[in-house]
Amino acid sequence: MIFDPTFIAIMIVGAILGGLTQWHIKSTFKKYSKADLARPASGVQVAERTLRSVNLPVANESGAVSGANAFGKKPVSIMRTAGKLSDHFDPRSNTVALSEVVYDRSNVAAAAVAAHEVGHAIQTAEAYLPGRIRSALVPVANVGSSLSIWLIIGGFFLASTNAMLGGNLMWAGIILFGAAVLFQVVTLPVEFDASRRAMVLLRETGTLSQAELPQARKVLTAAALTYVAAALIAVAQLLYWIGLARD
C-alpha cells in the first residue's frame, strides 16, 4: 500500500496542490494588505459596522455591547487572536476572532477577511442549514481524521492473516474517514456563502469603493481555493481507500 504508485501520486498531488493554494492565499493577502482603504476602517471596525448593519448586537473586547436591543439576538463578540491568517468564527462562543494583521489594519485584505468572518456570524444567527450540519459533524470528523488512517492501515495488514477482521477494521476506518471527508465537502458551501455575504456587506455598507470590491473578491476567492483543494484531495483519498478495501 505505502509503495502503491496510485497512493504515492495522490500524496504528491495533494502536497503540490496544498502548497500552491497556501502560497496563493498568502501572496494575495500580502498584495492587498498594501491596498489602503479609500475610506479608512480597521478590521475590527469593519466587523462592528457590518454586524450592526444586519441588526446583530456587538460586544467588543472590553465587554461593552452595542445594538443589544436587537430582539432575540445574542451579542457577537469581536476579539483579537494571535497568528497570521488565523481569523475564524467560533459558533460556540459566538465570537469573531481576527488576527493581528486584520484587527488593527485598514486595507482591502483586512476588510475582506473581517467581513467574511461576520458572514459566518450571520449564518449562525440565521441557523443556516449547511452551517448547522457542519457544526454537527465536527466531533465525528475530529475522530475520523485522527483515528481512521490507523484502522485502515491496521486492517490492511491484518487482512493477510484474518481477512474478515482485517476487512471490518478497514471499513470502519473508511466510514470514519468518510465522515471527515463529508465535513470538508459541507465546508465548501458554508465558506462560499460567507464570502458572498461578505461582498454584499462590504458593498451595502459603503466600506469599500467600487474599485476596491474586485480586489476584496480576489482575496476571498484565494481563500476559498484552499478549501476546494483540501476537499478534492480528501475525496481522492477516500476513493483510494474504498478501492483498496474492495480488492
Banded model confidence at residue 153, pLDDT cuts 50, 70, 90: confident
Average pLDDT over residues 100-123: 96
What is the distance between the alpha carbons of residues 113 and 92, in angstroms, rounded to a whole number?
20
What is the distance between the alpha carbons of residues 2 and 66, in angstroms, rounded to a whole number?
56
Q: What is the reported pLDDT for 121?
A: 95
What is the distance between the alpha carbons of residues 103 and 120, in angstroms, rounded to a whole number?
17
Q: What is the reported pLDDT for 69?
A: 47
**% pLDDT > 70, the chain:** 93
- Is residue 72 over pLDDT 80? no
What is the distance between the alpha carbons of residues 139 and 130, in angstroms, rounded to a whole number?
16
DSSP-derived secondary structure letter, 68 = T
Q: Is 51 exposed, middle or buried (0-12, 13-18, 19+ CB in 10 A)?
A: buried
**Which one of 61-70, 123-132, 149-158 scores highest in mean pLDDT?**
123-132
Q: Give the pLDDT confidence of 176-187 residue by residue, as tens digits.
A: 999 999 999 999
Which one from 48, 117, 191, 212 is the annotated catalytic residue? 117
Q: What is the reported pLDDT for 2?
A: 55
Q: Which domain holds residue 107?
A: 5-246
Verify whether residue 117 is a known catalytic residue: yes
- Is residue 74 over pLDDT 80? no
Q: What number of other Cβ atoms are within 10 A of residue 8's Cβ? A: 11
What is the distance between the alpha carbons of residues 186 and 135, in angstroms, rounded to a whole number?
10
- Is residue 226 over pLDDT 70? yes
How many domains in the chain? 1
What is the distance between the alpha carbons of residues 134 and 62, in angstroms, rounded to a whole number?
31
Q: Which three cell numbers stand for residue 72?
A: 432575540
In Å, how far from its chain's centre is CA 160?
40
What is the distance between the alpha carbons of residues 123 and 131, in angstroms, rounded to a whole number?
7
Order of all β-strands in the sheet with 88-90: 65-66, 58-59, 76-81, 95-99, 88-90
Q: What is the reported pLDDT for 194?
A: 97
Q: Give the pLDDT confidence of 213-225 residue by residue, as tens digits.
A: 999 999 999 999 9
pTM greater than 0.75 (yes/no):
yes
Q: Which three cell numbers stand for residue 98?
A: 481576527
Q: Which three cell numbers stand for residue 68?
A: 443589544
Banded model confidence at residue 61, pLDDT cuts 50, 70, 90: low
Q: What is the average pLDDT value for the chain, to the nearest integer?
A: 89
- Is residue 66 over pLDDT 60? no
User: Which has the closest alpha carbon to 94: 50, 56, 124?
Assistant: 124
Which of 8-12, 109-113, 146-150 is the least confident region?
146-150
Pairing, β 95-99 against β 76-81: parallel
